Amino acid sequence: MVTTALGTERARRPVLGSILQDRPHVILLALPVFLFLAFLIYPLLLMFVVSVRNYHPNLIVGPRLTLENYVRFITDPFYRTVLANTLKLAGIVSVIALLLSYPVAYYLSRTASRLKGWLVFFLLAPLMVGIVVRTYGWIVLMGRNGTINRALLALGVVDEPVRILFTDAAVIVGLVEVLLPYMVLPLVSALQKVDVTLEAAAATLGASPVEVLRRVVIPLSLPGVISGVVIVFTLSAGAIVTPAVLGGPRMQTMGTLIYQLMTATLNWPFGSAVAFILLAFEAIPVFLFFAIVSRASAERGRA
């Protein structure tokens, strides 16, 4: 029996060695997968366990299993309104960021200028500044005595300062500025994969520049469009600093609500439930993204 066990062990070692030799990427994936499981999946599972517990004033997380936190959110009109406003805000920010980013991404993907590197640097430079500093910079611009109001008064456009700060428009502008690079980069990557000769061929066949853009460039760059929209949508839906600073205390989003529940009221079970509800709605565009990309890949494979 010992001989059989030793033979089995010797036979197992070459098999494991051959697997690692044939698939060296398994070793390279080990650490990222471990970090993914340890620092993302495990905390999410732990947060879900907290979300189905009752709130206890002394223990914070009570011992009883319950779904009352989810029922409370679904049945309360206030929380449903906060969710709807958050999704609306994220959708508006995503659309505006896409419209502003596409021309920039198209230019960066097609230009051969020696200044292209500097343009990319200036695009990424705001990411080197903290989000709090950038957000407070908008207060200097949009405040009652800020740069924008002083310019409007000097030009005679208005007779008194306009209220820009602590409005939905201020939050939208701030989020678009913060998240713009996250939209441009996926678009640049997708547009660089579009063969320039396809555009030339379409133009040779009589297509106008608008038709070339609509029927050739945009469909082929659709994976980058969807990827950028998904990234901007999820980041803007979970934003905390920008809505809190530029929107004021009356501006309630899912991100600010979760922050208040976790830090001010210490209602961790309900805060965890709200976070999971937000996560569920953020996952919808991600699943749609993979569905559209896989369908497009299947159609190209059949063609």
Structural domain includes residue 197: yes
Domain shared by 12 and 102, yes or no? no
d(CA 258, CA 274): 7
Domain shared by 131 and 271, yes or no? yes
> Based on C-alpha coordinates, what's the Rg of the chain?
26
Most trustworthy range by pLDDT among 8-17, 103-112, 128-137:
103-112
Domain shared by 217 and 112, yes or no? yes
- State which residues form the domain around 23: 1-40
Domain shared by 35 and 84, yes or no? no
Instruction: Classify residue 54 as exposed, middle or buried by CB count within 10 Å of its CB (0-12, 13-18, 19+).
Output: middle
Helix (H) or strand (E) holding 54: strand 53-56
Domain shared by 157 and 213, yes or no? yes
Domain shared by 119 and 27, yes or no? no
Please calculate the CA angle 116-98-259 and round it to the nearest 5 degrees. Answer: 110
Q: Is the pLDDT of residue 4 over 70?
A: no
Percent of the chain whose predicted confidence (pLDDT) is above 90? 47
Q: How many CB atoms lie within 10 A of CB 107?
A: 14
Q: How far is CA 129 from CA 121, 124, 137, in A?
A: 13, 10, 11
Structural domain includes residue 45: no
41-50, 131-140, 235-244, 264-273: least confidently modelled range: 131-140
Structural domain includes residue 243: yes
Reported pTM? 0.85
Domain shared by 36 and 84, yes or no? no
Q: In the chain, what are the helix, strand and coil shares in percent, each to the nearest 5?
A: 80, 5, 20
Structural domain includes residue 60: no
Strand partners, 56: 60
Q: Is the pLDDT of residue 1 over 50?
A: no
Question: What is the pLDDT at residue 69?
Answer: 95
Q: What mean pLDDT is reported for the chain?
A: 86
Domain shared by 2 and 116, yes or no? no
Phi, psi dihedral angles at 166 (to 5 degrees): 65, 40
Q: Take residue 95 and report the two structure tokens written for it.
A: 């659309």
Number of domain units in the chain: 2
Question: What is the pLDDT at residue 58?
Answer: 87
Structural domain includes residue 58: no
- Residue 247 · residue 166 · CB < 8 Å: yes
Residues near 133 by Cβ (< 8 Å), separated by ≥ 6? none
6 pLDDT band (50/70/90 cuts)? Answer: very low
Domain shared by 122 and 270, yes or no? yes
Domain shared by 96 and 26, yes or no? no
Q: What is the CATH number of the domain that holds 138?
A: 1.10.3720.10
Domain shared by 157 and 30, yes or no? no
93 pLDDT band (50/70/90 cuts)? Answer: very high
Domain shared by 21 and 161, yes or no? no
Structural domain includes residue 56: no
The set of long-range contacts for 119-125, using a CB threshold of 8 Å and a minimum separation of 24, is 123/180, 123/181, 123/184, 124/181
